[in-house]
Copies of this chain bind each other. A is one copy, B any other.
Amino acid sequence: MNAPQKAQAPKTAISPTRAENYAEWYQQIVRASDMAELSGVRGCMIIKPNGYGIWELMQRDLDRRFKDTGHENCYFPLLIPLSYFQKEADHVEGFAKEMAVVTHHRLTNKDGKLVPDGELEEPLIIRPTSEMTIGTAMAKWIKSYRDLPLLINQWANVMRWEMRPRLLLRTAEFLWQEGHTAHETFDDAMFETKQMLEVYTRFAEDVMALPVIAGEKPEHERFPGAVTTYTIESMTQDGRALQAGTSHYLGQNFSKSLNIQFQNREGALEFVHTTSWGVSTRMLGALVMAHSDDNGLRTPPRIAPWQVVIIPVIRNDADKESVMAYCQSLKTEIQTQHYAGEAVRVKVDARDISSADKKWDWIKKGAPLVLEVGPRDVEGGKVCVMRRDQLDAGKKFPTRAEFVAGVTGELTAIQKNLFDEAAKFQQERLVTNITTRAEFDAYFGKPADNSFVGGQGFVRAKWSGDKQSLDALDAFGVTIRCVPFDQDGKTGICVLTGAPATQDVIFARAY
């Protein structure tokens, strides 16, 4: 199961370890946890059962939050006529370099070879995002203030051609949701934009156990066509930032380009204010980056497809019947318990492979609680329990009744522990005492130290807002991730220029 290890290193299920080679470790984790793999189509991935199972639970939770805030789901076309994009200059410029273009609508046999045929009058773009399509529909649907707010969400695949794909984090095709709303006033639209970022924040922290820093993107990092972009940024175990969700106030930019007007309460025509917001399967990458260890993924219970996995340990045919019966009835009993408002999700792994292989399989996949049940457990009315987030703590042997009574508490504790560990890590790597350019350069200047051990993190420091000063970041591959919402409002000096500066920003390398 394991590649050869250095003599002293403890045995781990994933090789290399984070400390040995973080980038390669990430690839191995994604594969070993049955999350995803690259397909034969350049830059496109296959999301495998464990990855898709987590995504389904993420969808379900988010979808409920969207509906609770008044949104309805729709579905809009995959393909967007090129002419639509030409209506919004900033928007098309932002996406033109990564658009997959459909030019033909059939194949034909030419000298024994299939070639594209039936050229389209107008090329069609596979949606990189749907502002243009949904805005065009809004222009038809909205007549009066009575039609507002219009609150729509869509679950869909999108495509942005990627030159350097990376599993889950950056793929040509990915799955996401995109909210699109239209409002009467600036205030209403701004409320919505902030509300949805708060929905994402609560989801990231409470469900994914991902601590995030919420804030506003600086002007040069805004969504193409947006007036304001808000973001939540999570931290990876090599100290990089990962944008986990964004919410945009689009102002009247799109409503003017697409002529989305309404008759206001005074009877005059006005352009609506629009917003858009999205999270994607990229969040699965954030999950891996934040919660995995050298033995695989550790899935927060709230989104674990199986919260408890029971492995029958059968040594001979005589054991089989009693052990399997015990496992099945244990499963039924555990399902009577509830966690986060739902029956606990339990699986008995009855596959025809060794129990040791099963155990490591579920450790790699990150099941929060792994139980082993052998003939002696059956006899003693016990279970053997491993907590995935605390493998080093070893196995425990409660009675069956104790385990069932405590399972909700255990899952709650695991969820909390994963968040606390990630929050502690983020706190430790969030540097707030760098105030000069020399210190800044010394911190980010070490080349390619994005390792798990001793790597860099986030620098929170004052910035003057001078765009010229950003040139200094290019050499390090560092960007401003956001202007956090919590500001002290004091004037200090810009870490890049030494000029007076009031706002704190987060500097980091990013995925």
Chain B residues with Cβ under 8 A from A53's Cβ? 72-73
**A337 interfacial contact with B, CB 8 Å:** no
A84 at the binding interface (Cβ < 8 Å): yes
What 0/1 readout, one digit per residue, does chain A (36-67) give for beta carbons within 8 Å of chain B? 00011100111111001101100000000000
Would B102 and A175 count as touching, CB distance under 8 A?
no
Question: With A114-B86, A146-B353, A353-B146 in contact, do A44 and B77 touch (Cβ < 8 Å)?
Answer: yes
Can you name the residue of chain B whose Cβ is closest to the Cβ of A115? B123
User: Which of A75-114 touch B at CB < 8 Å?
Assistant: 75-82, 84-86, 92, 96-109, 114
Q: How far is it, in angstroms, between the C-alpha of A173 and the C-alpha of B127 when the chains are bound?
A: 13
Q: Contact mask A128-153 → B, CB, 8 Å, 1/0?
A: 00000100110000000010000010
Q: Which residues of chain B have C-beta atoms less than 8 A from A385's C-beta? A: none
> Given the interface contacts A114-B86, A157-B157, does A76 sit within 8 Å of B106 by beta carbon?
no
Instruction: Collect the chain B residues with CB atoms within 8 Å of residue A108's CB.
Output: 96
- In the complex, the answer to whether A114 meets B79 with C-beta atoms within 8 Å is no
CB of B92 within 8 A of CB of A101, answer no
Cβ of A352 under 8 Å from chain B = yes
A196 CB to nearest B CB, Å:
18
Determine whether A313 belongs to the interface, using a CB cutoff of 8 Å to chain B.
no
Q: Contacts of A79 on B, CB cut-off 8 Å? A: 41, 44, 100, 159, 173
Measured between beta carbons, the chain B residues less than 8 angstroms from A114 are 82, 85-86, 92, 96
Q: Are B74 and A41 in contact (CB under 8 A)?
A: no
Inter-chain CA distance A96–B85, complex, in Å, is 29
Query: Do residues A101 and B100 form an inter-chain contact, with CB atoms below 8 A?
Result: no
Chain B positions within 8 Å of A13 at CB level: none
A124 interface hit (Cβ, 8 Å)? yes
Task: Flag whether A161 is at the interface (Cβ < 8 A).
Answer: yes
User: Cβ of B157 and Cβ of A78 under 8 Å apart?
Assistant: yes
When the two chains form their complex, are residues A97 and B103 in contact, meaning their CB atoms are under 8 A apart? no
The verdict on A116 contacting chain B, using a C-beta distance below 8 Å, is yes
Contact B46 A75 (CB under 8 A): yes
Question: Contact between B74 and A48 (Cβ–Cβ < 8 Å)?
Answer: yes
Minimum Cβ distance to chain B for residue A367 (Å): 15
Please report the C-alpha to C-alpha distance between residue A80 and residue B483 in the assembled complex, in whole angstroms: 41
A-B complex: 5 closest residue pairs judged by Cβ atoms: A44-B77, A47-B75, A49-B72, A101-B104, A96-B107
4 additional A-B pairs beyond A41-B77, A44-B77, A46-B75, beta carbons within 8 Å, are A78-B126, A96-B106, A101-B102, A101-B105
Q: List 18 A-B contacts (CB under 8 A).
A: A39-B136, A40-B133, A41-B79, A49-B73, A49-B74, A52-B72, A78-B159, A79-B100, A79-B173, A100-B104, A101-B107, A105-B161, A115-B123, A116-B123, A126-B126, A146-B351, A146-B352, A156-B157
